[in-house]
Amino acid sequence: MNEKLIPDIIESNLFSLYKAFADAGDYNVIKHASYTRIETGKSAFPRNIFQIDTGMDDDALSELTRLIKDGEASPFLIFRDDNAPVVFAERLKENNFRQVMKWPGMAIPLYDDLKIMAVDDKNIAIRKIEDKREIDTWTGMVEKVLFNGKRLDRQALQTLAYSQGGALYTGFLNGMAAGTLLSWSAGQVTGFYMITTLPEFRKKGIARQMMQTALRDASSAGCRYAVLESTQMGLSLYQRAGFKEYCSFSIYWMLGKDQ
Output the tens digit of pLDDT for each of the chain's 259 residues: 678 899 999 999 999 999 999 999 999 999 999 999 998 878 999 989 999 999 999 999 999 999 999 988 999 999 999 999 999 999 999 999 999 999 999 999 997 555 555 556 788 999 998 888 899 999 999 999 999 999 999 999 999 998 889 999 999 999 999 999 999 999 899 999 999 999 999 999 999 999 999 999 999 889 999 999 998 888 888 998 889 999 999 999 998 876 5
Q: Kindly state which CATH superfamily the domain 109-248 is placed in.
A: Gcn5-related N-acetyltransferase (GNAT) (3.40.630.30)
User: What is the reported pLDDT for 130?
Assistant: 80
**Is 224 within 8 Å of 188 (Cβ atoms)?**
yes
Taking the C-alpha atoms of residue 44 and residue 76, their distance in angstroms, rounded to an integer, is 11
Cis, peptide link before residue 7, omega less than 30° from 0: no
| CATH 3.40.630.30 residue ranges for the chain | 109-248
What end-to-end distance do the CA atoms of the chain give, in Å? 38
Q: What is the pTM of this model?
A: 0.92
User: What is the reported pLDDT for 105?
Assistant: 97
Taking the C-alpha atoms of residue 152 and residue 94, their distance in angstroms, rounded to an integer, is 32
**Is 223 within 8 Å of 88 (Cβ atoms)?**
no
Taking the C-alpha atoms of residue 224 and residue 242, their distance in angstroms, rounded to an integer, is 14
Taking the C-alpha atoms of residue 118 and residue 170, their distance in angstroms, rounded to an integer, is 17
User: What is the reported pLDDT for 257?
Assistant: 74
Residues 6+ apart with CB under 8 A from 194: 142, 146, 180, 181, 182
**Is 52 within 8 Å of 92 (Cβ atoms)?**
no
Q: Pick the closest to residue 18 from 3, 1, 31, 33 (CA basis).
A: 31
Taking the C-alpha atoms of residue 29 and residue 19, their distance in angstroms, rounded to an integer, is 7
